[in-house]
Amino acid sequence: MSDATHITDTYNPLEVERKWQARWDSEGTNTYTDAELRRAGVQGRPFYNLMMFPYPSAEGLHIGNIYAFTGADIYGRFKRLQGYDVFEPIGFDAFGIHSENFALKQGVHPMELIPQNIERFTRQLRRVGFMYDWNHTVDTTQREYYRWTQWIFLQLYKAGLAVKKEAPVNWCPSCNTVLANEQVVAGACERCGTTVEIRNLSQWFFRITEYAERLLNNLATIDWSETTKKAQENWIGRSEGAEIVFPVVSESANLENDDGSEVVRQAFRYFLTADQIVSRWQELEYTAIRVFTTRPDTVFGATYMVLAPEHPLVDQITTRERRKAVEAYRRKTAKKDLVTRRKGDKKKTGTDTGARVLNPATGKEIPVWIADYVLMEYGTGAIMAVPGHDERDFEFARAYKLPIVRVVALEGVGANEPMIEAYTGPGRLVNSGHFDGMEVDEARHEVTAWLAERNAAEPRVNYRLHDWTISRQRYWGPPIPVLYCDDCGIVPVPEDQLPVELPYIEDFKPDASGISPLARHREWYLTGCPSCGGVARRETDVSDTFLDSAWYFLRYPSAGNDRRAFEPSLTRNWLPVDSYIGGNEHAVLHLLYARFVTMALHDLEWIDFEEPFTRFRAHGLIIKDGAKMSKSRGNVIVPDEYIEEYGADTLRTYLMFLGPYQEGGDFRATGITGPYNFLNRLWDAVLGAEDRPLYPAVEQKLHATIRKVTEDVEALSYNTAIAAMMEYLNVVRAGGRTPERAAVEPLVILVAPFAPHLAEELWERLGNERSVFRSATWPEYDPAKAVADTVEFVVQVNGRVRARMQMARGISESDARDAALADPNVQRFLDGRQVRKTIFVPDRLLNLVAG
């Protein structure tokens, strides 16, 4: 006797969903064994369907999580019904500051908190009916996982891609830790909103900048949402230009060396031409300042130079008379936080160092200033200022009465016409020696080449991207697997000693010292040196959470494997990921880091592909009453209530019906009744269906609907797919008629990705034994049957609709014209005029142009 008999004949979503969730578990409908995973990867049609694994917050599953996962799950279920072996795993990104802060606030230890959260999340995820393979799941905080996170660190270390260096880094004074550039939004911590400070600390960096060019170029080869690609492109920020050298020639510069000896080289100045100094500055031992510019063509207009106040050469070149003023200015800028300093709209300030450099193009001496509008982090920390053709330089030159020279002019503009604003447009060079008259674009290369010949410049590509700081002075993360030995220096922990376990400590609260809480535990950090056997100290920083998530997709197929991070054969068969869906807020964080780690592992020959995600689609955000959901606004939606009242199938369908999946939508409680009614009506239609031949109009609509739904689901256009199914059901039930079984059975399959529990139940009630996802195949449509015999044909007069008539499909132009001309309304609007021209769009429209 079937379970169906225990279930009422009116649609009761809770009953239905409970039944099918239990059955999926007991029959392993959604899961693979390791053997199956291996076999399917080789013999089957493997399809790796990935979604961004959640951070298991204490608040439980958020409606935004459900929205994201439902869209991805629908795609996975669709692919399974199309006959693919779909691997759809889920896991938990549970390390990180967020969990740690919450644990601190609640006074619970994260090692107790996180397992509870994960348990609750798991329960909620199961309740929504995702097709997850619960046999292959990860939790980044488990030693079985972070052991391999540490292993990846070691691989990068061995390849020279993980380096420890002292550098100015972003410090969040509230989280008490260093942040990556990507985690600083508008000068503030993306987590807590506190303004970040710059501290000079010795940190571990991943040299992602080594991969800047490839990270950029490969974007052309992957099928990703355009918005995401653009975000990465902007973040990498490639600029092409030149590095130009300006030798320091000020007479009184640098009067003493460190040892007190006189500096004599400046004396050459009086025996040498500017040209000689420029081309021989190295052998003459001139100090030179390098600048990066995207406009080498304007070098003749460089009337002064500006260094970032922190530039290392400032001390050396500043003249005695200017020393006090320069020191004062540097102190002032050091106090300013980066936010105010980076605000572009404030007044320009700066001060003269007294030093002079040679403009290598003009051979003239120009002054060197320091100003905080030049940033040490970008380029060389120094610029050649071309006030005539750069807005910032123009503003600065105005403020300090520095000379402004025009070097680019449009036709008809005099070379020495005074400038009232910086001109950044196209034109020809003027006041530029033998380059006068040359187009800007050509001059860019020619000027660089000319300077390069004289040893004063070289072409240069510059990136905005910085190396990825991965050290975190916090507790809740994987310890960085490195030791410090007085004799041997930095010693990586041998791979067979992994993991370096995160100890359970009570006092995991971070402080402002810049040192991790782990550093308070000698018993943990003091250990033996694996190299010399002496005493070594462990690194007490942990790694960034984003390293955990930069490789989790590699782990899923191999989850549980305790010999390897990822098994080569499984990886080869299942990766790269076929479809990845997630939020665009990770466009430059997770998605960039994951690409970097994958590329590095590829170069180290651990994997044979360099892009992890073949196709990526960003989904939209789900908002409430036009605003982002947040606790402070009090507009947070608790999904559980809706699941209790309408069931998971309705919630899933409703969320997808809200609007275009890739744009998001506004959650309105009243709207949920639409999809709920639809599922109810479908239920009734299936239960009341009769075995008899399809009515022709229904058959036509069926084929049209299969086509529409198939195309729309493939394009993630879920809202229109649902609308098409509703429309079809309206036809099937039109006028209260009894539906044909052959009309509703395919619809049950079409709806299955959206409302899987309901589909299972109806599939069973239609007499099928096994799960719809294991026995049904996605319906095919016949293009010939997908179109109706008659069409509503529109007749226009001069582009305006004047008649609509039912016509046979395929009607000829002349027949259509005859019918149109016979129409009294058409005649009325022609008003006796000649038809000069007719436009005929087959099966759609005829436009009579009268004049």
Residues from 609 through 638 that contact RNA (CB under 7 A): 628
User: Is residue 800 a contact point for RNA (CB under 7 A)?
Assistant: yes
Q: How many residues bind RNA (CB under 7 A)?
A: 88
Residue that has been written with the tokens 């540490």 in this structure? 150
Comparison of 372 and 539: residue with beta carbon closer to RNA: 372
Contact string 471-510 vs RNA (x = CB under 7 A):
----------------------------------------
Distance between CA atoms of 579 and 443, rounded to whole angstroms?
46
Question: Under a CB-based contact definition with an 8 Å cutoff, are residues 89 and 73 in contact?
Answer: no
* N-to-C CA span, the chain: 76
658-677 residues near RNA, rule: CB under 7 A: 658-660, 663, 665-666, 668, 670-671, 673-675, 677
User: Is residue 200 a contact point for RNA (CB under 7 A)?
Assistant: no
Q: Which amino acid is at 193?
A: G
CB of 650 to RNA, least distance (A): 12
Nearest to 523 by CA among 538, 513, 508, 533: 538
Comparison of 86 and 622: residue with beta carbon closer to RNA: 622
555-614 residues near RNA, rule: CB under 7 A: 584-585, 587-588
Comparison of 251 and 792: residue with beta carbon closer to RNA: 792
What's the token pair of residue 511?
């402080």
Comparison of 231 and 820: residue with beta carbon closer to RNA: 231
Q: Which stretch binds RNA (CB under 7 A): 312-320, 339-347, 356-364, 575-583?
A: 339-347
Question: Under a CB-based contact definition with an 8 Å cutoff, are residues 586 and 595 in contact?
Answer: no
Query: According to CB under 7 A, which one of 308, 451, 550, 559 is a site residue for RNA?
Result: 308
Q: Which stretch binds RNA (CB under 7 A): 29-37, 75-83, 483-491, 724-732?
A: 724-732
Query: According to CB under 7 A, which one of 346, 364, 509, 633 is a site residue for RNA?
Result: 346
User: Is residue 381 a contact point for RNA (CB under 7 A)?
Assistant: yes
CA distances from 132 to 21, 54, 89, 209, 773 (A): 12, 13, 5, 36, 13
CB of 477 to RNA, least distance (A): 23
Comparison of 230 and 364: residue with beta carbon closer to RNA: 230
Residue 410's CB: how many other CB atoms inside 10 A?
A: 10
Q: Which stretch binds RNA (CB under 7 A): 50-58, 155-163, 377-385, 742-750?
A: 377-385
What's the token pair of residue 343?
């605000």
Query: According to CB under 7 A, which one of 126, 615, 681, 785 is a site residue for RNA?
Result: 681
9-22 as b/e: b if 16+ CB within 10 A? eebebeebbebbbe
Sign, CA dihedral 367-370-373-375, equals: positive
Distance between CA atoms of 140 and 507, rounded to whole angstroms?
22
766-795 residues near RNA, rule: CB under 7 A: 791-792, 794
Query: According to CB under 7 A, which one of 100, 372, 649, 764 is a site residue for RNA?
Result: 372
What's the token pair of residue 598?
């994958």
User: Is residue 293 a contact point for RNA (CB under 7 A)?
Assistant: yes
For helices 648-657 and 718-732, angle between their N-to-C axes, nearest 10 degrees:
110
User: Is residue 847 a contact point for RNA (CB under 7 A)?
Assistant: yes
Distance between CA atoms of 560 and 571, rounded to whole angstroms?
14
User: Is residue 373 a contact point for RNA (CB under 7 A)?
Assistant: yes
Distance between CA atoms of 656 and 674, rounded to whole angstroms?
12
Query: According to CB under 7 A, which one of 255, 490, 532, 841 is a site residue for RNA?
Result: 841
Comparison of 325 and 849: residue with beta carbon closer to RNA: 849
Distance between CA atoms of 746 and 708, rounded to whole angstroms?
13
CA distances from 536 to 165, 166, 374 (A): 20, 21, 42
Comparison of 606 and 840: residue with beta carbon closer to RNA: 840
Residues near 139 by beta carbon (within 8 Å), at least 6 away in sequence: 91, 92, 94, 114, 118, 145
CB of 498 to RNA, least distance (A): 34
Query: According to CB under 7 A, which one of 4, 42, 185, 638 is a site residue for RNA?
Result: 185
CB of 226 to RNA, least distance (A): 5
Q: Which stretch binds RNA (CB under 7 A): 112-120, 520-528, 560-568, 718-726?
A: 718-726
* Helices H / strands E in the chain, number of each: 29, 34
User: Is residue 727 a contact point for RNA (CB under 7 A)?
Assistant: yes
Distance between CA atoms of 307 and 305, rounded to whole angstroms?
7
User: Is residue 726 a contact point for RNA (CB under 7 A)?
Assistant: yes
Nearest to 688 by CA among 642, 650, 737, 750: 737
Query: According to CB under 7 A, which one of 341, 602, 615, 741 is a site residue for RNA?
Result: 341
Q: Which amino acid is at 409?
A: A
Residues near 472 by beta carbon (within 8 Å), at least 6 away in sequence: 97, 177, 178, 516, 541, 542, 543, 544
- Which phi-psi region, left, alpha or beta, contains residue 594 (left: φ > 0; alpha: ψ -120 to 50)? alpha
Query: According to CB under 7 A, which one of 107, 160, 344, 489 is a site residue for RNA?
Result: 344
Comparison of 542 and 725: residue with beta carbon closer to RNA: 725
Q: Which stretch binds RNA (CB under 7 A): 437-445, 553-561, 723-731, 811-819?
A: 723-731
User: Is residue 831 a contact point for RNA (CB under 7 A)?
Assistant: no
Contact string 246-285 vs RNA (x = CB under 7 A):
----------------------------------------
CB of 681 to RNA, least distance (A): 5
User: Is residue 170 a contact point for RNA (CB under 7 A)?
Assistant: no
Output the CA torsion 272→277→278→282 (10° steps).
160
Comparison of 92 and 678: residue with beta carbon closer to RNA: 678
CA distances from 375 to 246, 307, 354, 398, 555 (A): 18, 8, 20, 20, 40
CA distances from 386 to 405, 420, 641, 798 (A): 8, 14, 63, 59
CB of 843 to RNA, least distance (A): 9
Cis peptide, bond prior to residue 576, ω within 30 of zero: yes
Question: Under a CB-based contact definition with an 8 Å cutoff, are residues 52 and 593 in contact?
Answer: no
Query: According to CB under 7 A, which one of 643, 722, 752, 820 is a site residue for RNA?
Result: 722
Question: Under a CB-based contact definition with an 8 Å cutoff, are residues 823 and 846 in contact?
Answer: no
384-443 residues near RNA, rule: CB under 7 A: 390, 392
Comparison of 80 and 444: residue with beta carbon closer to RNA: 444
* DSSP string computed for 58-110: TT---HHHHHHHHHHHHHHHHHHHTT-EEE---EE---SHHHHHHHHHHT--H
CB of 191 to RNA, least distance (A): 14
User: Is residue 522 a contact point for RNA (CB under 7 A)?
Assistant: no
Q: Helices in 465-567 by DSSP H: which ranges? A: 522-525, 545-548, 552-555
CB of 169 to RNA, least distance (A): 14
Comparison of 355 and 826: residue with beta carbon closer to RNA: 826
Comparison of 330 and 555: residue with beta carbon closer to RNA: 330
CB of 239 to RNA, least distance (A): 4
CB of 666 to RNA, least distance (A): 5
Query: According to CB under 7 A, which one of 206, 546, 646, 678 is a site residue for RNA?
Result: 678
CB of 663 to RNA, least distance (A): 6
Q: Which stretch binds RNA (CB under 7 A): 76-84, 313-321, 344-352, 354-362?
A: 344-352
108-137 residues near RNA, rule: CB under 7 A: none
Cis peptide, bond prior to residue 168, ω within 30 of zero: no
Query: According to CB under 7 A, which one of 37, 63, 231, 493 is a site residue for RNA?
Result: 231
User: Is residue 241 a contact point for RNA (CB under 7 A)?
Assistant: yes
Query: According to CB under 7 A, which one of 237, 312, 494, 810 is a site residue for RNA?
Result: 237
